[in-house]
Amino acid sequence: MSKAVNMLSILWLLKTGKRMTAKQLAEELEINIRTVYRYIDALCASGVPIISDAGHNGGYSLLHEFTKAPLFFDVNEQKALIHAASFASEAGYPFSEVLNGAVTKLKKYTNPEQLDYINRHLTGFDVIQPPAKSELKTLLQDIEESVAEGLTLLIEYQKGNESTPQSRSIDPYGLVYWKGNWYVIAYCHLRLEIRSFRVDRIVSVFRTGAEFDRPANFSARAFFLNGLLPDLDEPDQLISIHIEGHAHALDDLCQHWLFGHALTRRSENHAHFKIDEQSINTYVPYYLLPYGKAINILEPLFLKERMVTVTIELVKHYQNSKLH
C-alpha cells in the first residue's frame, strides 16, 4: 500500500479508541516497525494529536476530542479556511454562528505549533465590506434551505419604486452575492420566467408546501451575470467605445466588472470596448464621470454627447439645491 493509505489506516485504527503499540500497528498493516515510527511522526507534523505513552502498557492513542473529528487539515489548509471565513462573515454569510463554531473547532484540534502559525498569519489580515444587514440573516437562511430542498416560496416583495409590497410565488434556484447585496435567482410564477430578486426588498417569506425540480446544470451566477454583461454572442449589436487616457486610469477602468468583460483591445494609453447601446445611454456615463480629465472618449460621438448631458443635469441639480 502507498504511504498515504498506510497513514490513513493508522489514523483509523487509532480512531477506534484503542491504545496500540508500534509493533501491533506494524503487524496489522504488514509493514516494518520503523516505517510505523516515520508515519506516526508525519501524522503528528500534520496536526494529528497522537499521544505516546511509554511503559509496559504503553502505546499510541488519539486525543479523545479528535476521535470525533472526521477530517484533519495541514497548516496551510487551516489558514486558508480561516481566511475564507473572514470574507464570508463580512459579506453577511447567513450561517456565521455555525461558521465561527467550525473555526473554533478547527483551532481546538490543531497542535500548538500550528495554532501559533495560524494566529500569526491572521494578524493584520482584515476584510472591509459594506456593513452587512443583520435583519437579512433569517431570510437568507430560509431561502438557502429552500434552494437546497426544492421548496416553493411565497414572498412579499417591494420594488424600489413601489410603496406597497406584492405577493410572488417563486421557485428559488440559487443565491448570489453581488457588490454588497444578496440576490435570489428564482422562477417567478407571476411573470412565468426566471428573475432575480434583491433579498433586502423581500418583506417576508413563507413556505407553500409545494416542491419543484431545479433545472439541470442551471447556474445562478451565470444567469445573473448574463443580465449585466453585453451579449458577446451577438457582436453586431454591440458598439465600439475607444477611450484614451493615463495608464493608471485605464488600468483601473479595465478592472471594472463591466469594462473588464467588454475589453477587446488595450495599449498603454488606449482601450477599446464593446458595449450595448442601452448600457451606454444609461449607466456607462456615470461609471466614467469619476475619472474626470484622466480619460478622454474618442468614440462613439453619442457617448461624448451623453456625458455632456449628464454633466449638465448634475450641475443644474446642485445649482437648484443651493437655492433651497
Would you say domain 235-319 falls under CATH 3.30.1220?
A: no
Letter for the amino acid at 251? D
Give residues with Cβ within 8 angstroms of 146, minimum separation 6. 152, 153, 172, 207
Architecture of domain 143-226: Roll (2.30)
Q: CA dist 18 to 10, 38, 65, 304, Å? A: 12, 20, 14, 78
Give residues with Cβ within 8 angstroms of 18, minimum separation 6. 61
**Under DSSP, is residue 194 helix (H, G, I), strand (E, B) or coil?**
strand
Q: Of 20-34, 147-161, 221-235, 281-295, give the lowest mean pLDDT range.
A: 221-235
43 and 10 Cβ atoms separated by less than 8 Å: yes
Would you tell me which CATH number, out of the four given (3.90.1200.10, 3.30.1300.10, 3.40.50.720, 1.10.10.10), belongs to the domain 3-68? 1.10.10.10
Separation CA 228–CA 219 (nearest Å): 15
Stronger pLDDT, 3 or 150, i.e. the higher one: 150
pLDDT tens digits, one per residue of 253-267 = 999 988 998 999 999
Return the beta strands (E) in 163-262 as ranges: 166-178, 181-188, 193-198, 202-211, 238-245
Q: Give the start-to-end residue ranges of the domains of the chain.
A: 3-68, 75-122, 143-226, 235-319
pLDDT tens digits, one per residue of 56-66 = 777 888 776 56
171 and 152 Cβ atoms separated by less than 8 Å: yes
- pTM for the model: 0.67
**Residue 324: its pLDDT value, please?**
59
CA 144 to chain centre: 14
Separation CA 86–CA 92 (nearest Å): 10
Model confidence at 323, in pLDDT bands (50, 70, 90)?
Answer: low
**Residue 102: its pLDDT value, please?**
80
Whether residue 232 is predicted with pLDDT greater than 70 in this model: the reply is no
| Helix or strand (DSSP H, E) at 100 | helix 96-108
Give residues with Cβ within 8 angstroms of 216, minimum separation 6. none
Whether residue 233 is predicted with pLDDT greater than 80 in this model: the reply is no
**Residue 213: its pLDDT value, please?**
92
Model confidence at 41, in pLDDT bands (50, 70, 90)?
Answer: confident
Of the candidates 219, 217, 211, which has an alpha carbon nearest to the alpha carbon of residue 176?
219
